[in-house]
Amino acid sequence: MSSPSDTIVAVATAAGSAGVGVIRVSGPQAVEVVQACFKAADGRALAQQPPRFMAFGKLLDEQGLVVDDALVVRFEERHSFTGEAVVEIHAHGGSFHLQQVQASLLSLSRALLPAPRLARAGEFTQRAFLNGKMDLTRAEAVADLIQSGSALGREAAARQLGGGLQRAVEDLRLGVLALLAEAEAACDFPEEGRQWDAPGQWLDRAQELRGRMQGLLDTARTGRMLTQGVRVCLAGPPNAGKSSLLNALAGEERAIVSPEPGTTRDWLELRYQVQGLPVLLYDTAGLRAAQGEVEAEGVRRTRRLAAEADLLVLVLDQSAPFDPSALDVLKDLPGEALIVLNKNDLDPVWDSSVLRAALKLLRHEWASSAFLHKRVLSVSARQGAGLESLQARILDTALEGRATETLEAVLLTRSRHAQALRSAAEALDQVLVSLRANAAAELLAVDLRACLDALGEIVGLTTRAEVLEQIFSRFCIGK
């Protein structure tokens, strides 16, 4: 756990060459650390420079030689990102140069007690959380914002950074807290005749809270897809055109395309975007009776990826004889599926009636006209025909046809959030059972406290120290 008595130093900008690089210093001796190597052009000490204003000056090394011009800004306690005294040095970019300036800072201020040290990963944000500058969901949103690789992922992180999830959880906590207060009053003042009558208002209030919890839990899948990507698995028989389809969607030659069956032995992962939605696209080994142990392992991996994916895209070749066993991957599929009829630039040897009959034998509901209309598409990976429709179907299927609502909603973006909220919901379920059984207020209070603690884990009110360390250790150094 970060110690508030330490002053920490780190390069806050990414490695590589750049016009400007930033070094951040935070802690009780931040001003003294930077003052040791900075000489302002106006001759005033750093402590006398007005806060939140850039001071121009020279950076010196251990020999007193000028190594760079820089702008330095200081932030007072409670008015900084971390809630501590903070100084930022804005110098010229370049990894080696900034590392040397950082080394000079530590060397010139080593006489200070305690001596400043390098910051650990995520330690600046961790201090912001510990000092009450943000709750845990906003701290995690900082990392999500930095790591976002798509427009929609960035927007989801920005909404969370703005406190959307925190407010939703706090509203739930206030509702549970009100119920707990009623339960504890019934325990402490039984002479007032307070009863937890099942048909009464407490049951209605608990059910309303449970419904809101479920609504938030239902966003976990979408939140994970927006921040981590929709997992889309391309599967199908050999030579159906899976690799050609991946290359066409990517707009570049990423997968080897060959008329020789079994070319793809392992899966290939490609990350790209569909209208701002991050997509992880997997090209997999062709599904057939394997011709060797290596190909057999590839087929096993294909089936595993198909089962784990958010969306299976089954690619079939309409210019080749239809093999009903190609649909076997759809049996008991836990996720969503699209069927892509590839090579529509060639003469087909079977039509949709053949597919409908095979689907009726496999999964009767998939033979419906509604499924065939929404989930079966005709494309040509080689000529690019139908790819825009396929992209639109991927987006629509991933977001369950609610793209507009999803983009404006508060979402659970991390598995930690979902796990804690599930624990809260389970505790509230027990409260509902007890209410319907007209149980004693003492039993209700126990489960309501458990619910309150689980909700507190999301925003960091009841989160264990080791969990906090694990969360912040995944941040980049300097943040």
Which of 115, 134, 153 terminates a domain? The answer is 134
Domain membership flag for residue 479: no
Question: Are 23 and 103 in a shared domain?
Answer: yes
Residue 174 exposed, middle or buried by CB count within 10 Å (0-12, 13-18, 19+) = exposed
List of residues 6+ apart from 445 with CB closer than 8 A:
180, 183, 184, 187
Instruction: Tell me how far apart the alpha carbons of residues 255 and 334 are, in angstroms, rounded to a whole number.
Output: 27
Nearest to 381 by CA among 270, 190, 248, 185: 248
Check which CATH number belongs to the domain holding 452 and give it. 1.20.120.430
Question: Are 21 and 73 in a shared domain?
Answer: yes
Residue range 54-83, pLDDT digits in tens: 999 999 999 989 999 999 999 999 999 999
Q: How high is the mean pLDDT of the chain?
A: 85
Domain membership flag for residue 93: yes
Angle at 469 between CA 474 and CA 74, to 5 degrees: 80
Question: Are 258 and 332 in a shared domain?
Answer: yes
Q: Which residues pair with 331 in a beta bridge?
A: none
Check which CATH number belongs to the domain holding 14 and give it. 3.30.1360.120
Query: The whole model's pTM is what?
Result: 0.76
Q: Which residues pair with 271 in a beta bridge?
A: 280
Residue range 366-410, pLDDT digits in tens: 878 888 888 899 999 888 899 999 988 888 877 776 555 556 678
Q: Which residues pair with 265 in a beta bridge?
A: none
User: What confidence score (pLDDT) does residue 287 get?
Assistant: 67
Helices (H), 163-292: 164-188, 201-217, 220-228, 242-250
Check which CATH number belongs to the domain holding 241 and give it. 3.40.50.300
Residue range 226-284, pLDDT digits in tens: 888 888 988 888 888 888 888 888 776 654 444 544 444 456 788 888 877 888 888 88
Which of 134, 152, 172 terminates a domain? The answer is 134
67: how many CB neighbours lie within 10 A of its CB? 17
Helix (H, G, I), strand (E, B) or coil at 57: strand
Residue 191 has pLDDT above 90, yes or no: no
Domain membership flag for residue 422: yes
Tokens of 40: 């302002």
Question: Are 318 and 399 in a shared domain?
Answer: yes
Which of 85, 103, 134 terminates a domain? The answer is 134
Rounded alpha-carbon distances, angstroms, from residue 412 to 119, 210, 249, 398, 423 = 29, 16, 29, 16, 14
Tokens of 209: 């809270």
Question: Which of 37-51, 128-142, 253-267, 341-355 shows the highest mean pLDDT?
Answer: 37-51
Q: What are phi and psi of 147, to 5 degrees?
A: -90, -5
Question: Are 105 and 164 in a shared domain?
Answer: no
Question: Are 284 and 313 in a shared domain?
Answer: yes
Nearest to 91 by CA among 17, 30, 36: 17
Domain membership flag for residue 158: yes
- Mean pLDDT over 87-100 rounds to 93
Question: Are 73 and 172 in a shared domain?
Answer: no
Domain membership flag for residue 467: no
User: What confidence score (pLDDT) does residue 432 get?
Assistant: 93
374: left (phi over 0), alpha (psi -120 to 50) or beta: alpha
Helix (H, G, I), strand (E, B) or coil at 386: coil
- Mean pLDDT over 8-37 rounds to 92
**Contact call for residues 251 and 391 (beta carbons, < 8 A):** no
Instruction: Tell me how far apart the alpha carbons of residues 388 and 55 are, in angstroms, rounded to a whole number.
Output: 53
Domain membership flag for residue 473: no
User: Is it true that the peptide bond before 116 is cis, omega within 30 degrees of 0?
Assistant: no
**Contact call for residues 417 and 165 (beta carbons, < 8 A):** yes
Domain membership flag for residue 38: yes
Sheet holding 311-317, edge to edge: 268-274, 277-283, 230-235, 311-317, 336-342, 376-378
Domain membership flag for residue 430: yes
Residue 361 exposed, middle or buried by CB count within 10 Å (0-12, 13-18, 19+) = exposed
**Contact call for residues 20 and 91 (beta carbons, < 8 A):** yes
Question: Are 312 and 365 in a shared domain?
Answer: yes
**Range of the structural domain that residue 341 is part of:** 229-406
Q: What is the percent of the chain with per-residue pLDDT over 70, rounded to a whole number?
A: 89
Q: Which residues pair with 316 in a beta bridge?
A: 341
Question: Are 395 and 418 in a shared domain?
Answer: no
Q: Which residues pair with 71 in a beta bridge?
A: 56, 90
Structurally, the chain folds into a number of domains equal to 3
Helix (H, G, I), strand (E, B) or coil at 71: strand
Question: Are 363 and 254 in a shared domain?
Answer: yes
DSSP state of 199: T
Tokens of 228: 């981590």
Question: Are 203 and 177 in a shared domain?
Answer: yes
User: What confidence score (pLDDT) does residue 199 get?
Assistant: 45
**Contact call for residues 90 and 72 (beta carbons, < 8 A):** yes
CA 127 to chain centre: 22
Question: Are 234 and 361 in a shared domain?
Answer: yes
Helices (H), 363-440: 369-375, 387-398, 403-408, 415-436
Instruction: Tell me how far apart the alpha carbons of residues 30 and 127 are, in angstroms, rounded to a whole number.
Output: 14
Considering only residues 330 and 173, tell me which one the structure prediction assigns the higher pLDDT. Answer: 173
Instruction: Say which range, 35-44, 225-234, 444-453, has the weakest mean pLDDT.
Output: 225-234
Sheet holding 38-40, edge to edge: 38-40, 55-60, 66-75, 86-91, 21-26, 8-11, 117-118
Instruction: Tell me how far apart the alpha carbons of residues 312 and 420 are, in angstroms, rounded to a whole number.
Output: 29
